[in-house]
Chains A and B, each alone.
Chain A
């Protein structure tokens, strides 16, 4: 089409690309490689890429979930395995709830004119910026003294749903606006009620938007540390909390901690590779819509 685009890029351009890829993926690769090393290899002066990979660190972290007893583990610490289960339950349940009630609210805000609509969208916008650090004090007080749900998984799920709702509502609005209204009118002609129209007609059309919203919600619930730290007790701790707890000033067991970090990073990495297109669409929609 244009002259500039057809010109072959010069070698410096490719060098830049390679450098960028190395810079953005390098630290993650460092983590994964370290998690496959024995502490001897991590500490040794000459270490680099020359080492015998081992899964011992993963066995130590997951010892109570394995079907065999790894020979090198003297004492099995079940903290991490339990936290992994907690994290999975909390992230999946809160994502599911957030999506269902979030897309219903977004639909109402886009398709209906009603009293309180502006107030609701303004609140949604303002609540989007409330940082977890600000919620820390009140949520701790209310959950402990008034609701009595501190230290439970449902307490953490409740705050995650609330925290993610404004963003999910905001992002789904921009997808619902694009659904042709004729589709819904046709469904209504055929005698579908509003709920039927929504679940059977609108939802299938905005699937890409839902995917993006789901990934963003899951990512926040899966990665969040501060509120989980304040609200959980020994039995409901999530993975980020256990990782921070095991980070003492001195004598960090780098191999094992990198293994836990890798395990925490794997689900988001998988999502990124499966659905990068949806993630980027969602990111763009979220930003452009402000």
Chain B
């Protein structure tokens, strides 16, 4: 009896510490934030002293020009960055998918940019973009081209931020698609080669379709992360010039710390959270569908094999 109870309690014993920490420091803050988004609250007040203003924060946000601007900047940034990274990353994986002696060294070098701190990435790129001492403008000056206002002009600043992110995260896509490529069924590739498919045909009709599940998940993961990017942009431009690079995460942190409107920042954070939740659930269900299809295919194959044996 007591042994039975002990074994039934076992999973809860294992879960308890993690569940407790996540409840205190993750779930509770998120609920707290949802509550705070209905308040007019500044950092010098305790939360109990703040006024309840219902949905006004949310409604004000809908007509807030600069919120629109940073929402648009965020979408543009995420779409551009993920698009560019997918094309370059998958392209490189297709090109470099060969048996090379130094491949592991190569991959090690490629993952360096995403291992070092985003703050450091921002720092390095800010130095290279520097108008006078920076590497880029120096090189341009050496070949006689007039200097580029990398971080001081709105459009250039946006491009610079995108370039820095593409530098940092393309290797992620590259490594995952390389892994996917190398685990493709050799028989399909072999068969298509015997049938005389050219390199391009193989890529279009066999490799890419077979890699699709992994590519979709990788792209969604990157998309979710692209909405979270903050530090690199903070160091590079701090959202400027104007609002040209002020992505949502940065706007939330500035609303909280500079404009001291915690309720407003919380409402903004909630909009971001809803967006991310939709993407995450989309990824989750996509995975489920793919898994279900794989199971169905395996079953069909097994049934076919059984039939053949019977015949």
| Structural contact, B235 and A30, CB atoms closer than 8 A | no
A residues within 8 A CB of B248?
133
| Structural contact, B284 and A257, CB atoms closer than 8 A | no
Interface flag for A230 (CB, 8 Å): yes
Which single member of B18, B22, B113, B256 contacts A28 (CB below 8 Å)? B113
Interface flag for A212 (CB, 8 Å): no
| Structural contact, A102 and B18, CB atoms closer than 8 A | yes
| Structural contact, A104 and B14, CB atoms closer than 8 A | yes
| Structural contact, B214 and A287, CB atoms closer than 8 A | yes
Q: How far is the CA of A31 from the CA of B176 in the complex (A)?
A: 28
Q: How far is the CA of A23 from the CA of B110 in the complex (A)?
A: 9
In the complex, how many angstroms separate the beta carbon of B104 from the nearest chain A beta carbon?
A: 7
Q: How far is the CA of A198 from the CA of B127 in the complex (A)?
A: 49
Interface flag for A254 (CB, 8 Å): yes
Interface flag for A159 (CB, 8 Å): yes
Interface flag for A24 (CB, 8 Å): yes
**Contact mask for chain A residues 43-86; partner B; CB cutoff 8 A; 1 contact, 0 none:** 10000000000000000000000000000000000000000000
| Structural contact, B116 and A225, CB atoms closer than 8 A | no
| Structural contact, B115 and A269, CB atoms closer than 8 A | yes
Q: How far is the CA of A136 from the CA of B248 in the complex (A)?
A: 13
* CB within 8 Å for A132 and B123 given contacts A4-B193, A137-B36, A268-B115: no
Q: Interface residues of B, CB < 8 Å — how many?
A: 96
Which residues of chain A in 246-274 are interfacial with respect to chain B, using CB atoms and an 8 Å cutoff? 247, 254, 257-258, 261, 264-265, 268-269, 271-273
Stretch at the interface among A119-127, A179-187, A203-211: A119-127
A residues within 8 A CB of B18?
101-102, 104-105, 165, 169
Which single member of B15, B19, B133 contacts A42 (CB below 8 Å)? B133
| Structural contact, A138 and B14, CB atoms closer than 8 A | no
Q: How far is the CA of A107 from the CA of B10 in the complex (A)?
A: 11
Interface flag for A192 (CB, 8 Å): no
**Contact mask for chain A residues 28-44; partner B; CB cutoff 8 A; 1 contact, 0 none:** 10110010000000110
Q: Interface residues of A, CB < 8 Å — how many?
A: 95
| Structural contact, A131 and B25, CB atoms closer than 8 A | no
In the complex, how many angstroms separate the beta carbon of A157 from the nearest chain B beta carbon?
A: 10
In the complex, how many angstroms separate the beta carbon of B232 from the nearest chain A beta carbon?
A: 10
B residues within 8 A CB of A280?
107, 111, 175, 179
In the complex, how many angstroms separate the beta carbon of B111 from the nearest chain A beta carbon?
A: 6
Q: How far is the CA of A253 from the CA of B193 in the complex (A)?
A: 59
In the complex, how many angstroms separate the beta carbon of A161 from the nearest chain B beta carbon?
A: 6
Interface flag for B106 (CB, 8 Å): yes
Interface flag for A177 (CB, 8 Å): no
| Structural contact, B112 and A112, CB atoms closer than 8 A | no
* CB within 8 Å for A226 and B253 given contacts A5-B99, A130-B30, A137-B265: yes
Of listed B98, B172, B248, residue having the most chain A CB within 10 A: B98
In the complex, how many angstroms separate the beta carbon of A45 from the nearest chain B beta carbon?
A: 8
Stretch at the interface among B79-87, B220-228, B295-303: B220-228
Interface flag for B7 (CB, 8 Å): yes
| Structural contact, B26 and A125, CB atoms closer than 8 A | no
A residues within 8 A CB of B287?
290
| Structural contact, A264 and B266, CB atoms closer than 8 A | no
| Structural contact, A130 and B273, CB atoms closer than 8 A | yes
Q: Which residue of A lies closest to B8 (CB)?
A: A114
Q: How far is the CA of A140 from the CA of B41 in the complex (A)?
A: 13
Which single member of B10, B108, B120, B190 contacts A112 (CB below 8 Å)? B10
Q: How far is the CA of A271 from the CA of B199 in the complex (A)?
A: 37
Interface flag for B28 (CB, 8 Å): yes
Q: How far is the CA of A105 from the CA of B22 in the complex (A)?
A: 11
Which residues of chain B in 113-160 are interfacial with respect to chain A, using CB atoms and an 8 Å cutoff? 113, 115-121, 123-128, 133, 135
Closest 4 CB pairs of A and B: A162-B25, A223-B117, A105-B18, A108-B14
If A129-B279, A195-B13, A290-B287 are given as contacts, then 16 extra A-B residue pairs at C-beta distance below 8 Å, sorted by A number, are: A4-B193, A28-B124, A31-B120, A127-B30, A129-B277, A131-B230, A133-B269, A136-B252, A141-B47, A247-B123, A254-B133, A265-B120, A268-B117, A269-B115, A290-B221, A290-B284
